C-alpha cells in the first residue's frame, strides 16, 4: 500500500486520547480501507491497538516522545517543538508522506504549527482560517473564520470567502455555493467598518475569484439554509459557534426536562425518543468530524477536543477527501487569478 | 390622575399598528392602573379605542398628523420630524409630561430620535446602547449593546457594563449582577483588540463604577445562567440576537416536524403540547416587552416590530418601572464617580 494514501493522526490529541483516537483510526481503516499513521509514544499507541482486531489494517506507528497538553498555555511556543505528536503529524504531510493531518489536540497549537511551522500558508494567502460547519434546516453551512484570527482586515475576509466557497463546492458537493458576508442587516450599507469595506471588495472581485457572492446575510440566515458560506472574522465566528452550542444545549435540556416531568409525558417521550435521537444526530459535531484549516499548503483538520472515535473516523475521511479534491491548490489558483487581475489593472 | 404617571406610546409604530398597539395600552391601563398617552392620528386611534371597553381608563390621545413608516430608509432624517407619533411620544418624556416612551416602530429612528433629538445622552455618556434581554436556563441575561453602535471604542464598552448592571439590578431585581465581557475565551488575554482594552479598563474601574465584573465570558455563557450582563459592541450583539432567533426557530421547527411525522408521534405530541407551549413562552420576546435604550436622559423602550398587544402591555410596564426605579439617574451618578476618580488621579 502506498504511503501517499495514508492520513497522519495525532494519537495524543483530545480529551479522550489516546483511547478514542486510536479506535477512530481503527474504524476508519476498516470502514474506508485507507492507511493511518498513528503519531505519538509507541508504547501507549501499541497498548491501545492491542485492544482491537487490527488484522489487515494499515496502521503504522510513528514514534514521538512528547505531545502537547490540551491546556497548553503557550500554544505558539509548543507548536515549535518538532518532537510532539501534533507537529510530527503535520510534518508527515509537509514531507509528502501523508495526505493530511488530523488532531483533536490544542487547537491554537495546531493552527500555529500548521500555518507557521510546517505546511505554512499558500502563496498569496494573508491568514489561514478555520472553517466551521454548522447544521442547517436541511443541510450544512460553513462559517469562516471560526476562530483562527480575532482581528481581521477586509482583505482577509475576501480570502475567507474564496476558501469557504471552494471547500463547500468540493467537499459538500455544492454547485456554486452561496457566499454571504455576516452583518447586522442585509442592506449593502450595513455592518461595521471592516464588513462594509469587505463588502466593496467582494462586490468588485467575486466574479474574478469565481465566488457566488450574495451580499450581506444576518445571523439568522446561518441556520435557515439560505446561504452556504458565511464570512466573518474569527472573533465573531467564535461567538456564533459558542452561542449556537450553548443555546442548543439549553433548548434540548428544557425539552428533556419537560418530557420527564410526569408519567404521561414520560410515556409520550418514549414514543418520540428515537426520532429525537435522529434530530440530535444532525446537530452532532461528530458527524462532521473536524474543521479544516484553510489557506495552508496541505491538509490540516482540527477536531473538537471532546472528539470520540466516530468524530475521529469522520475527520480522517474528511482529511483524505480534502486532499484528493485539491482544495488547497484550488485556493491558490483562485488567489492567483485575483492578483493577476490586479496587476493588469495596475498596468493600464 | 397626575400626568406624571402616564407613559407615552407611539400608537403607529409596529407591524400591527395601530390595532395591537392600542389594545396593548388598553390592557396595560386596565391591568396596571396607570395612564397611557396614545400618540398618533386621532381618528385612527379613536377608531381602535371604540372597539374596546375603555371606561374608567386613562388613555388620552395626543394627535400628530404623521408617523414614521417601518421601512423608512433614512431613519436619522425621519427622527428630525417633530410631527411624527414617535418623536412626539419622546418629546412628552423630555417635557416631563410622561414617565417614558414606548415604540415598536423603526428602531433606527427611535434610537436617533431619543439619543440625538429629544432626550439626548446623559452627561458623561459616549453612546446610548440597546439592552437586549435573552432567556437563560432559569432566568434572563442582558446583552448590551444589542445593535445601536456597530463600531465601539473600549470606553463605550465600559459604559455599557455600568448601564446593563444598573438595569438588571433595578428592573430584574438582581443583587450585584455578574457582568462579563464577551470574548472568544475566558482567559484575560482573549478577545480582539477592542475587547482586550475594554477588559483592562473594567479591571481598573469596576469597583469605582460599582460593577461586579467577572471577566471574559463566552457565547455559551449567555444561556447558561452564569452571567447576568454580557457586554459587546452592537455588531456582535446583533449577531448574537439573530443567531439565537434563527437557531431557536429551526430547532423548534424540527421538533414540531418530528412530532407530526407518524400517528404514534402525533399522539405523543398531544400529551406534550401544553408543556412545550410553556417552554415556548420562556423564549417569547413578548414576555420582556421591549428593549431599553440606556444612556439617554429619560426612558425609551424599543419594542419588537412584530409586537402584539401583550408585548406592548409589558413594554409599558417596563417603561414605568425603569422610570420609577431611577435607572437613568443611577447611570449618570455611576459615570460621575468614574470621572471624579479620574480627576483625582490626574491631580496627584
Work out the pLDDT band at A80, boundaries 50, 70, 90: very high
pLDDT at A346 over 90: no
Contact B275 A261 (CB under 8 A): yes
pLDDT for B271 equals 59
CA of B265, closest CA in chain A: separation in Å? Answer: 6
Which chain A residue shows the shortest CA-CA distance from B193? A151
- Rounded CA-CA distance B170/B165 in Å is 9
Helix (H, G, I), strand (E, B) or coil at B130: strand
Confidence of residue A176 (pLDDT cuts 50, 70, 90): very high
d(CA B192, CA B151): 13
Nearest Cα to Cα of residue A297 among A9, A101, A36, A155:
A101
Q: What percent of chain B has pLDDT over 90?
A: 76
Cα(B167)–Cα(B170) distance, integer angstroms:
5
Please tell me if residue A3 touches chain B, with a CB cutoff of 8 Å.
no
| Per-residue confidence (pLDDT) for residue B2, from 0 to 100 | 46
**Strands B291-294, B300-302: pairing kind:** antiparallel
Q: Does B172 touch chain A (CB under 8 A)?
A: no
d(CA B242, CA A250): 17
Helices (H), B172-262: 193-209, 221-224, 234-259
| Residue B273 near chain A (CB below 8 Å) | no
Residues 6+ away with beta carbon under 8 Å from B156: B126, B127, B129, B145, B149, B233
pLDDT of A157 higher than 90: yes
Indicate if the pLDDT at residue A222 is higher than 50. Answer: yes
The residue in chain B having the minimum alpha-carbon distance to the alpha carbon of residue A181 is B239
- Tell me the C-alpha distance between A269 and B146, whole Å: 37
How do residues B226-251 score in pLDDT, each as one tens digit?
Answer: 999 999 999 999 999 999 988 888 87
Query: Residue B137: its pLDDT value, please?
Result: 74
Least Cα distance to A223 among A292, A157, A139, A166 occurs for A139
The average pLDDT across A321-347 equals: 84
Would you mind telling me the total number of residues written for chain B in this entry? 348
CB of B34 within 8 A of CB of B58? Answer: yes
Q: Provide, as residue numbers in chain A, all residues whose Cβ is less than 8 Å from the Cβ of B239.
A: 182, 184, 218-219, 232, 236, 239-240
- Which string of DSSP letters, residue by residue, matches B190-203? -S-HHHHHHHHHHH
From A149's Cα to the closest Cα of chain B, the distance in A is 9
CA B228 – CA A242 distance, rounded (Å) = 17
For residue B249, the chain A residues in CB contact (below 8 A) are 220, 223
Of A219, A261, A268, the CB nearest to B239: A219
* Cα dihedral across residues B110, B113, B118, B123: positive or negative: positive
Which of B147, B184, B260, B264 should one mutate to test binding to chain A, selecting the residue with the greatest count of A CBs within 10 A? B184
DSSP B164: H
Contact state of B220 with A234 under an 8 Å Cβ cutoff: no
Facing B222 at nearest CB: one of A224, A243, A278: A243
Nearest alpha-carbon partner for A102 in A83, A88, A82: A88
Flag whether residue A240 sits within 8 Å of chain B, measured between CB atoms: yes
* Per-residue model confidence (pLDDT) at position B119: 98
Taking a contact as any Cβ pair under 8 Å apart, which residues of chain B between 77 and 136 contact chain A? 136
| Nearest-by-Cβ selection for A222 from B243, B264, B272 | B243
Share of residues in chain A with pLDDT > 90 (%):
76
Determine contact: B233 vs chain A, CB below 8 A: yes
Span A245-290, pLDDT tens digits: 888 888 777 777 766 766 666 666 665 665 555 555 555 666 777 8
Rg (CA), chain A: 21
Relative orientation angle of helices B19-32 and B42-49, to the nearest 10 degrees: 60
Q: Chain A contact for B74, CB < 8 A?
A: no
pTM for the model stands at 0.89
* Interface touch B271/A272, C-beta < 8 Å: no
Shortest Cα distance, chain A CAs vs residue B282, angstroms: 10
- Would you place residue B138 in the very low, low, confident or very high pLDDT band (cuts 50, 70, 90)? confident
Q: Do B258 and A235 touch (CB under 8 A)?
A: no
- Does A348 score more than 80 pLDDT? no
Cross-chain CB nearest to B248 (options A240, A247, A253): A247
Residue A1 sits at the chain B interface (C-beta within 8 Å) = no
- Tell me what pLDDT residue B347 has: 46
Q: How confident is the model at residue A3 (pLDDT cuts 50, 70, 90)?
A: very low
pLDDT score, position B339:
86
Least confident of A141-150, B202-211, B266-275: B266-275
> Do the Cβ atoms of A243 and B243 come within 8 Å?
yes
Confidence of residue B346 (pLDDT cuts 50, 70, 90): very low
Confidence of residue B162 (pLDDT cuts 50, 70, 90): very high
By the 8 A CB rule, do B118 and B93 touch? yes
Element (H, E) at B86: helix B85-94
The pLDDT value recorded for residue A253 is 77
User: What pLDDT was estimated at residue A347?
Assistant: 45
Q: Cα distance from A96 to chain B (closest Cα, Å)? A: 34
Q: Are B128 and B295 in contact (CB under 8 A)?
A: yes
- pLDDT tens for residues B17-63? 999 999 999 999 999 999 999 999 999 999 999 999 999 999 999 99
Q: Which of residues 130-159 of A touch B (CB under 8 A)?
A: 136-137, 147, 150-151
Interface contact B241-A249, CB threshold 8 A: no
A vs B, Cβ pairs < 8 A, gives 178
**Per-residue pLDDT, A251:** 78
HEC-encoded secondary structure of chain A: CCHHHEEEEECCCCCCCCHHHHHHHHHHHHHHCCEEEEEECHHHHHHHHCCCCCCCCCCCEEECCECCCCCCCCHHHHCCCCCEHHHHHHHHHHCCCCCCEEECCCHHHHHHHHHHHCCCECCCCCCCEEEEEEECCCCEEEEECCCCCCCCCHHHHHHHHHHHHHHHHHHCCCCCCEEEEECCCCCCCCCCHHHHHHHHHHHHHHHHHCCEEEEEECCCHHHHCCCCEEECCHHHHHHHHHHHHHHHHHHHHHHHHHHCCCHHHHHHHHHHHHHHHHHHHHCCHHHHCCEEEECECCCEEECCCCCCHHHHHHHHHHHHHHHHCCHHHHHHHHHHHHHHHHHHHHHC
The pLDDT tens digits of the residues spanning A34-65 come to 999 999 999 999 999 999 999 999 999 999 99
Q: Is B181 helix (H, G, I), strand (E, B) or coil?
A: strand
Average pLDDT of chain A, as a whole number:
90
Query: pLDDT confidence of B1, banded at 50, 70, 90?
Result: very low
Residues in chain A with CB shorter than 8 Å from the CB of B220 are: 242-243, 245-246, 249
- DSSP designation for B5: G
- Predicted ipTM of the assembly: 0.86
Question: Picking from A131-145, A244-258, B208-222, B313-327, which range would have the lowest pLDDT averaged per residue?
Answer: A244-258
Q: Does B247 touch chain A (CB under 8 A)?
A: yes
Q: How far is A182 from chain B (nearest CA, A)?
A: 8
Cβ count within 10 A of residue A266: 12
Q: Is residue B277 within 8 angstroms of chain A, CB to CB?
A: no
d(CA B296, CA B109) in angstroms, rounded, equals 15
Other C-beta atoms lying within 10 Å of the C-beta of residue B43: 9
Rounded mean pLDDT, A133-162: 93
Q: Kindly state whether B244 is in contact with chain A, defined as any CB-CB distance less than 8 angstroms.
A: yes
Tell me the sheet residues that pair with A229: A142, A179
Least confident interval from A130-144, B72-86, B93-107, B209-223? A130-144
As a whole number of angstroms, the distance between CA A249 and CA A238 comes to: 17
Q: Which of A66-80, A291-305, B128-142 has the lowest mean pLDDT?
A: B128-142
pLDDT at B135: 82
Assign A187 a pLDDT band (cuts: 50, 70, 90): confident
Residue A151: C-alpha distances to residues A156, B193, B237 (Å): 10, 7, 17
The answer to whether the Cβ–Cβ distance between B238 and A184 falls below 8 Å is: yes
Question: What are the chain A neighbours of B224 within 8 Å (beta carbons)?
Answer: 246, 250
| Cα–Cα dist B110/B90, whole Å | 9
Nearest chain A residue (CA) to B255: A276
- Cα–Cα distance, A167 to B224 (Å, whole number): 33
Amino acid at each position: 500500500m502506498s504511503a501517499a494514501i495514508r492520513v497522519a493522526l495525532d494519537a495524543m490529541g483530545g480529551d479522550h486520547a489516546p483511547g478514542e483516537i486510536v479506535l477512530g483510526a481503527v474504524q476508519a481503516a476498516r470502514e474506508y480501507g485507507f492507511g493511518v499513521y498513528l503519531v505519538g509514544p509507541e508504547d501507549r499507541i501499541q497498548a491501545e491497538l492491542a485492544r482491537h482486531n487490527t488484522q489487515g489494517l494499515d496502521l503504522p506507528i510513528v514514534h514521538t516522545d512528547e505531545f502537547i497538553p490540551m491546556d497548553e498555555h503557550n500554544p505558539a511556543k509548543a507548536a515549535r517543538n518538532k518532537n510532539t505528536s501534533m507537529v510530527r503529524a503535520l510534518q508527515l504531510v509537509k514531507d509528502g508522506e501523508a495526505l493530511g493531518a488530523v488532531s483533536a489536540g490544542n487547537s491554537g497549537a495546531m493552527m500555529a504549527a500548521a500555518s507557521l511551522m510546517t505546511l505554512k500558508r499558500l502563496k498569496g494567502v494573508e491568514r489561514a482560517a478555520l472553517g466551521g460547519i454548522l447544521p442547517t434546516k436541511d443541510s450544512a453551512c460553513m462559517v469562516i473564520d471560526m476562530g483562527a484570527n480575532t482581528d481581521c482586515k477586509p482583505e482577509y475576509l475576501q480570502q475567507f470567502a474564496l476558501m469557504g466557497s471552494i471547500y463547500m463546492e468540493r467537499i459538500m458537493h455544492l454547485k456554486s455555493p452561496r457566499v454571504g458576508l455576516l452583518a447586522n442587516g442585509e442592506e449593502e450599507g450595513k455592518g461595521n467598518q471592516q464588513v462594509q469595506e469587505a463588502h466593496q471588495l467582494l462586490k468588485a472581485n467575486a466574479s474574478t475569484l469565481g465566488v457566488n457572492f450574495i451580499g450581506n446575510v444576518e445571523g439568522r440566515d446561518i441556520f435557515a439554509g439560505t446561504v452556504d458560506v458565511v464570512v466573518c472574522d474569527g472573533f465573531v465566528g467564535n461567538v456564533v459557534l459558542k452561542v449556537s452550542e450553548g443555546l442548543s444545549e439549553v433548548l434540548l435540556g428544557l425539552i428533556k426536562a419537560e418530557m420527564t416531568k410526569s408519567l404521561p409525558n414520560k410515556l409520550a417521550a418514549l414514543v418520540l425518543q428515537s426520532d429525537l435521537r435522529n434530530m440530535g444526530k444532525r446537530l452532532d459535531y461528530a458527524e462532521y468530524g473536524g474543521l479544516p484549516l484553510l489557506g495552508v499548503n496541505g491538509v490540516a483538520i482540527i477536531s473538537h477536543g471532546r472528539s470520540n472515535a466516530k468524530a475521529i473516523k469522520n475527520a480522517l475521511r474528511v482529511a483524505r477527501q480534502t486532499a484528493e479534491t485539491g482544495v488547497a491548490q484550488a485556493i491558490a489558483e483562485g488567489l492567483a487569478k485575483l492578483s493577476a487581475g490586479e496587476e493588469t489593472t495596475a498596468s493600464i
